[in-house]
Amino acid sequence: MKVEGRNAVAELLKSGKRVDKILVKGDGDNTLYQIVKLAKQKGVNVHFVKNEALNRESITQRHQGIIAICDDYDYCLVSDILNYAKGKEEPPFIVILDGIEDPHNFGSIIRVAECMGVHGIIFGKNRACSVNETVLKTSAGAANYMHIAKVTNINQEIEELKKQGVWVYACELGGEDINKSRLDGDIAVVIGGEGKGVSQLTKKLCDGIVTIPMKGKVNSLNASVAAGISLWEVSKRR
């Protein structure tokens, strides 16, 4: 896998994950030099190349003068997320993604989730974007610190989480005002996919539906924006 962009590569190195090598523009600036210095401290091979070579290697075409070559993203188990929360002596705070297909949305959700103290993200392997180069870059390195579980069926995972005392809420139109909802304790928030939202079956499995109040003429939000608002509301109650 190729991790592109200055923030993404710097955070990858800081996270301690294995990096095979780094390709960096030979006539870089001080910011690139600092990343190269960090890579050498970590024992990572650094190759100085021309910008044309980076353009050929780039997946996103937004490499910012640096690309790291590393293993594919290492997903965790749902139990790892719960154990991580337990280890921090905190009630679980989980995000469940139902059909997020846009890698930019996925990366943005990972970034805001990491900032808001989410312990882990769960998403289904079907009809959804996986963690790829664009997701990693858009997350600005947050994916390196986030526990992400790729599961066969999110509805089965919701049922299991409920058995373990986790309250599951779908963020969707037609529910209770999120400002008035009780969102403390062990909680998972379901964010629906672009255009389709949370599926009917998934909504039926949830303990409730919370809705972000809107006053404009457009009654929908981008998935990552909706995630940001709802996760902020949960974090305030924690």
* Portion of the chain with pLDDT greater than 90, in percent: 80
Domain ranges (residues) in the chain: 2-70, 78-236
For the whole model, what pTM was predicted? 0.89
CB atoms within 10 A of CB 52: 8
pLDDT at 207: 96
Distance (Å, whole) CA 44 – CA 57: 18
pLDDT in tens, 62-94: 899 999 999 899 999 999 999 999 999 999 999
Cβ(193)–Cβ(96) below 8 Å: no
Hey, CA dihedral for 99, 72, 43, 84, is it positive or negative? positive
Q: How is domain 78-236 classified at the architecture level of CATH?
A: 3-Layer(aba) Sandwich (3.40)
pLDDT at 100: 95
Assess whether pLDDT exceeds 90 at residue 217.
Answer: no
Query: What is the CATH topology of the domain spanning 2-70?
Result: 60s Ribosomal Protein L30; Chain: A; (3.30.1330)
